């Protein structure tokens, strides 16, 4: 009888934890490593926008129904260009068949808090018999570490794993940064999300249930660092000056946190028996909420190739090449699309303004174009040309 396949996942954040569960689900033994203890991995005040590609993966892993009580669906998305005064409403009727016959009563997407996601992932990891957790400096024990058939580098954009492999990256920092904060808001329906385009950068409003929302504010880095240090009353005054009049902030729910943003892509998708996933492989601007969904599409493809190995349909030494061939198109197109959106919608130059007016008019008037755009956002741009991998 052949020995079980062993994968070592480096990094136990949302992407690494999900990768460990995905590999375990197709019969691999998994070691999950992270220098942070479980409690520290929960401590992040932010929310994620989940698309239908993430829904499909979570359903395959048996996690979707358990997460459902903590999900806040948004059934409409308002694209608003505040410079032009133009608005394009997108709702569930624009899904069409983009997400495999999604019923009209379903959602365009869902918002999920970091802590609620990580609590479920950690619970599943602890219960999985084939997963060994090495978190917070947990010792391996006296026995020597087994040779892993596959190493998954999921330890973030400053990845020590990637550095140790000698894999560099192309990096384009934006002059903008992003500021994340949760507030109480009036003027928006509980199931409505907003993407506001301003000359200083996009501004997302993500519903968290009731009148609670997460704001993701893009602006020049120096301005956001100054805002981060303001007292609550002064911060609310500044916030009121950039939101549309219809949206009124009542109170802060946490401390504003600014962070840099960049477009980044590793020079290689794999080296030897190590594959790069998530932000170890790529980073994009948070416009359109593509970041985590792109990371989890990496996990979905890794699971497909790992299952082929487990069934004897692919040599274990070939998993990195197969993964890279299948992922490069989605990754590259998503990075290019988000970068184009930021550059097109973050200025007041006459030519981009005219092009924006044309794009928004076409989206508003041409339903098939809205459906194609939503399909690309929901399942990834490669799904405009092919089927979602099972």
Residue 148, domain member (yes or no)? yes
Residue 64, domain member (yes or no)? yes
Question: Looking at residue 26, which CATH number applies to its domain?
Answer: 3.50.50.60
Residue 316, domain member (yes or no)? yes
User: What residues have CB less than 8 Å from 184, skipping those under 6 apart?
Assistant: 211, 212, 213, 249, 250, 251, 253
On whether the pTM is more than 0.75, the answer is yes
Residue 88, domain member (yes or no)? no
Residue 179, domain member (yes or no)? no
The per-residue pLDDT string of the chain (390 residues; one tens digit each, 9 = 90 and over) reads: 367 899 999 999 999 999 999 999 999 999 999 999 999 999 988 899 999 999 999 999 999 999 999 999 999 999 999 999 999 999 988 887 544 444 444 899 999 999 999 999 999 999 999 999 999 977 565 555 679 999 999 999 999 999 999 999 999 999 889 999 999 999 999 999 999 999 999 999 999 999 999 999 999 999 999 999 999 999 999 999 999 989 999 999 999 999 999 999 999 999 999 999 999 999 999 999 999 999 999 999 999 999 999 999 999 999 999 999 999 999 999 999 999 999 999 888 889 899 999 999 999 999 999 999 999 999 998 877 654 443
Task: Compute the residue count for the chain.
Answer: 390
Residue 296, domain member (yes or no)? yes
Its domain, for residue 324, covers 6-71+112-170+262-346+380-384
Number of domains in the chain: 1
**Contact of 277 with 153, CB cutoff 8 Å:** yes
Residue 252, domain member (yes or no)? no
Tokens of 367: 């339903």
| 2, 87, 264, 377 from 10: Cα distances, Å | 25, 43, 20, 28
Residue 239, domain member (yes or no)? no
């Amino acid at each position: 009888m052949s020995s079980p396949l062993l994968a070592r996942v480096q990094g136990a954040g949302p992407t690494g934890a999900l990768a460990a569960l995905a590999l375990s689900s197709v019969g691999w033994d998994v070691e999950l490593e992270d220098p942070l203890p479980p409690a520290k991995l929960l401590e992040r005040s932010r929310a994620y926008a989940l698309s239908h590609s993430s829904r499909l993966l979570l359903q395959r892993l048996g996690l979707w129904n358990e997460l459902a009580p903590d999900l806040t669906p948004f059934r409409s998305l308002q694209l608003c260009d505040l410079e032009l005064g133009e608005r394009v409403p997108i709702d569930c009727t624009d899904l069409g068949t983009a997400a495999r016959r999604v019923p009209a009563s379903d959602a365009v997407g869902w918002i999920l808090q970091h802590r609620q996601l990580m609590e479920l992932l950690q619970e599943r990891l602890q219960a999985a018999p084939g997963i060994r957790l090495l978190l917070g400096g947990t010792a391996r024990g006296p026995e020597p570490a087994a040779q892993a058939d596959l190493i998954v580098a999921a330890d973030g954009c400053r990845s020590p794993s990637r550095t140790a492999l000698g894999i560099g990256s192309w990096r384009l920092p934006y002059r903008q940064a992003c500021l994340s904060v949760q507030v109480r808001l009036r003027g928006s329906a509980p199931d409505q999300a907003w993407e506001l385009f301003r000359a200083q950068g996009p501004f997302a409003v993500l519903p968290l249930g009731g009148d609670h929302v997460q704001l993701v504010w893009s602006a020049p880095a120096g301005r956001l660092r100054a805002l981060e240090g303001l007292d609550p009353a002064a911060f609310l005054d500044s916030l009121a000056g950039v939101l549309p009049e219809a949206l009124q902030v009542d109170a802060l729910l946490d401390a504003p946190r600014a962070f840099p943003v960049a477009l980044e892509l590793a020079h290689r998708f794999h080296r030897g028996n190590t594959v790069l996933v998530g932000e170890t492989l790529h980073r994009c601007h948070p416009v359109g909420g593509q970041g985590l969904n792109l990371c989890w599409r990496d996990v979905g493809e890794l699971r497909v190739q790992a299952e082929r190995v487990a069934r004897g349909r692919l040599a274990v030494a070939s998993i990195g090449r197969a993964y890279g061939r299948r992922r490069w198109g989605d990754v590259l197109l998503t990075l290019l699309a988000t970068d184009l959106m930021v550059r097109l919608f973050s200025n007041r130059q006459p030519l981009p303004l005219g092009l924006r007016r044309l794009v928004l008019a076409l989206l508003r008037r041409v339903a098939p174009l809205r459906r194609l755009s939503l399909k690309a956002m929901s399942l990834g741009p490669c799904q405009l040309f092919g089927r979602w991998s099972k």
